[in-house]
Amino acid sequence: MVPGLVTVFLFQFVAIWNNFLLPYIMLSDDEKFPITLGLYTLLEQGANTPALYTLVITGAFLAVFPLVALFLVIQRFWSLDLLSGAVKS
């Protein structure tokens, strides 16, 4: 049952991490924006200042990095439990 719970946890974490619409509607203060919304506002400002594109690309890499790290940490739970179910004893 652990691989299923780990999968649900990972899907839920990614959904919360990439949440865009609810903070966009609810938050009015720019200092409280999550990473995705902050990158969006930087990209909107980048239409007037093209130098912000490199900052947005760097921010996108930094926004994806925790997800990749979490996936690599949780991956061991998938591989151990999936292999243990395939072995007939």
Q: What is the pLDDT of residue 65?
A: 92
Secondary structure in 3-state letters for the chain: CHHHHHHHHHHHHHHHHCCCHHHHHHCCCHHHCCHHHHHHHHHHHCCCCCCHHHHHHHHHHHHHHHHHHHHHHHHHHHHHHHHHHHCCC
**Residue 23 token pair:** 């903070």
Separation CA 12–CA 19 (nearest Å): 10
Residue 85: CA atoms inside 13 Å, Cβ hemisphere, count? 9
Q: What is the pLDDT of residue 85?
A: 59
Residue 50: CA atoms inside 13 Å, Cβ hemisphere, count? 0
Q: What is the pLDDT of residue 80?
A: 61
- Residues of the chain predicted below pLDDT 50: none
